Structure 1
């Protein structure tokens, strides 16, 4: 770019005898003015400087349009101003060259406008995708099952989506009005639906908390009445029932639930602490009782096996009287000790049952009938053996002899049983 010091702008003009300064153009000379009181060279230099200033401004704008990130809008406004200045300023210089620079600026500006237009279109496309994603996520949050929603997390996320929408609306590419309006209506509907569901949910939750609080207050009141009871068994069962009802009552608000539980547990602990003290004292007595019953078991083992049923029954009755008088034993020993006593009682009972069977006439008669049948069978087999031997049939005689031996063995067993039954 030519500077004022080396500019040849003045070579495109002349000064007339009357002091009028002219500039040469492709269409001929054009008067640009005069500079009274100055020499011809000074007048020509004055109008040449005006040209140099315009050309410098044009060159600078061309550089900004082609080499910087000036917006097409700002560049267009600058070009408009420059053209106005060129049109209104009387100057001496290479006006076609200046027009050429201005045309280069206009050409570069059109390119920049096209690039920016494409960039805006792409940005709008990306903005649409992002807005649609915001809407889709908001609708997904709003469509959740109220019973499964993580309300704190979802509420926070819905707030974040609104902030993202506002930020994108403020700083992002602008969408077409109708498109943005339609998306906003969907987004707003999702937010309003979610808020309505959330309010309904927490309203119902408050009702549930209220009902649970009322029920638990009743349970606490009953527990506090039972706390000082010394009716240990029924009261322990009552506390078990109250605990079951507590679990079924649902949850009140956290603060109410915690406070009520502390009262309930305090009453429960007070009762069971008092009960445990009494049980501890009883266990001392029960331990002594257990030692007595251990000694009675050792004594009772001598009754078995039963040899004299009458004596055994008398010994058992005396043992049972002492057993009942000995009292309760600790729970941990109860099963073992009671089983020991039942073994002794069952032993005497089994002996009594066996003796009864022996004295049963019907049983004895069946045994004697069996003896008679077997005796007849043995006699018949002896005859068959003798007949087979007389006939020389050794194989048949051997088989009959085996059968005879089996019958004789069975006969001896049945006779022994019959003799025992007859005493």
Structure 2
């Protein structure tokens, strides 16, 4: 995605406020209405009353008007945090005024407004009875009061531009001196003054809030830039980092209120970091593609050799070579995704052909080995009965030699039965060997001659001991007798070896 395609349009200097919207209709409607009513169409003299009633004799006020209209929809407020509303202490207008308390309409149509105790003429009524005229001017007062109430509500709610609200209030206040209305005009003037005085405070608060929002927006975009720069320079978690950069861009688009110059600088930082990440990621995957191409070539070589070995019957050597080829396969790395699985299937198929043939041969061999084991077990049973060296050593030797020849001719047995069978045949062989050794010791002429020599040595030592005792050499005699005893024991052992002779 290009830089401009994914970028949110930077903000204009400042935020768009109500100065660009048309002024509210309430601010300019009153003077025009006053002019329209000040000169009503003339009525015939017969329709007028011959005497002007006093204010106390005026008829009761007409029915109260219906619910006053709510605020008219204005321009959409700017997307900045709404400042805290500045309270405007103004007297609230009653739901409906009583014009009889603030003026009158004479029988001749003269309309009087009593302001601060002083009556003054504000117009002429010729369109109906004095009571109707009084009600008409009272409704005009209520309309004007409603207009002022809208200004108050706009200021207290923090909507719109407080400077524009102030200008509208000043314009309405300037018309009060000539307003053709009957009601508590001083109260309206006091409410307008309160709006005018409070507008400056609201404007200051609005500016402060807007500046704070702009600073927060700039700070947040700087944080996002710093994070993007770290990702662009360091991250190798390509999937996660790419998702995070897109999330940063989505959040970036929602941050408003930054001036265009600052936003352009920050945007260039983000775009540079994103481009750096894209370059590093592209280089990584390009290198990965090269490695995978090399892995594919190496795996194809392995497959060729594996397919050539699949028909081999040299089971041990070929199985070892297949293990080496599998290690080479793993060391080669991954080939391109669209071909790696297919290459593996080819290699695995070659392995399966060889190992299936080997397993079949081993199954046949296992059957043969099992029969061999049964045959050897039968020989062991036969040897237990026929080989008895204690009864006849020569016959036992002949019988064992025959069994051993037949044993070796049978061949191999299953691995799990090999040890038990070998232990059995070795036990019989040891029995025969032990009997032979015992017989040899009993008949060995060298052992008999050695026993005779031991006895002669005993006699010689005893004779020497007697002579030493006769000469008074008791100590030498004792030593010679001790040596004679030792030789006597050796002679007894030799006699036991040759059958106790």
- TM bucket (normalised to shorter chain) is 0.5 to 0.7
Look up the match of 2:24: none
- State the Cα deviation string for residues 352-381 of structure 1 (Å, max 9, x = none): 89969x9798x9999888777766556556
CA distance in 1, matches of 2:175, 2:331: 93
Which of the residues 336, 341, 345 maps onto 1:262?
A: 345
Which of the residues 53, 68, 71 maps onto 2:159?
A: 71
Q: Quick check: 2:228–2:270 contact (8 Å CA) kept in 1?
A: yes
Gaps of 5+ in 1: none
Look up the match of 2:206: 116
SS at match of 2:344: helix
Q: Do the aligned partners of residues 222 and 411 (structure 1) sit closer, same or farther apart at CA in structure 2, a change above 3 Å counting? A: closer
Q: Quick check: 1:382–1:404 contact (8 Å CA) kept in 2?
A: no
Gaps of 5+ in 2: 1-92
Q: Quick check: 2:464–2:480 contact (8 Å CA) kept in 1?
A: no
Aligned residues, how many?
Answer: 395
Look up the match of 1:103: 193
Look up the match of 1:412: 491
Q: Do the aligned partners of residues 155 and 10 (structure 1) sit closer, same or farther apart at CA in structure 2, a change above 3 Å counting? A: same
Q: Quick check: 1:229–1:271 contact (8 Å CA) kept in 2?
A: yes
CA distance in 2, matches of 1:306, 1:177: 116
Q: Do the aligned partners of residues 405 and 359 (structure 1) sit closer, same or farther apart at CA in structure 2, a change above 3 Å counting? A: closer
CA distance in 1, matches of 2:454, 2:170: 147
Task: Select the structure that is richer in helix.
Answer: 1
Counterparts of 1:17-56 in structure 2, within 5 Å, are 53-56=143-146
Q: Do the aligned partners of residues 364 and 123 (structure 1) sit closer, same or farther apart at CA in structure 2, a change above 3 Å counting? A: farther
SS at match of 2:334: coil
Counterparts of 1:7-22 in structure 2, within 5 Å, are none
CA distance in 2, matches of 1:234, 1:47: 118
Q: Quick check: 1:385–1:401 contact (8 Å CA) kept in 2?
A: no
Bigger mean CA offset, 104-113 vs 248-257: 248-257
Look up the match of 1:246: 329
Q: CA deviation at 1:193?
A: 3.2
RMSD over aligned CA atoms reads 5.3
Q: Do the aligned partners of residues 367 and 60 (structure 1) sit closer, same or farther apart at CA in structure 2, a change above 3 Å counting? A: same
Q: Do the aligned partners of residues 274 and 221 (structure 1) sit closer, same or farther apart at CA in structure 2, a change above 3 Å counting? A: same
Which of the residues 171, 179, 201 maps onto 1:91?
A: 179
Q: CA deviation at 1:334?
A: 3.3
Which of the residues 138, 145, 164 maps onto 2:251?
A: 164
Look up the match of 2:29: none
By relative contact order (CA 8 Å, sep 6+), the higher-ranking structure is: 2
Q: Do the aligned partners of residues 48 and 312 (structure 1) sit closer, same or farther apart at CA in structure 2, a change above 3 Å counting? A: closer
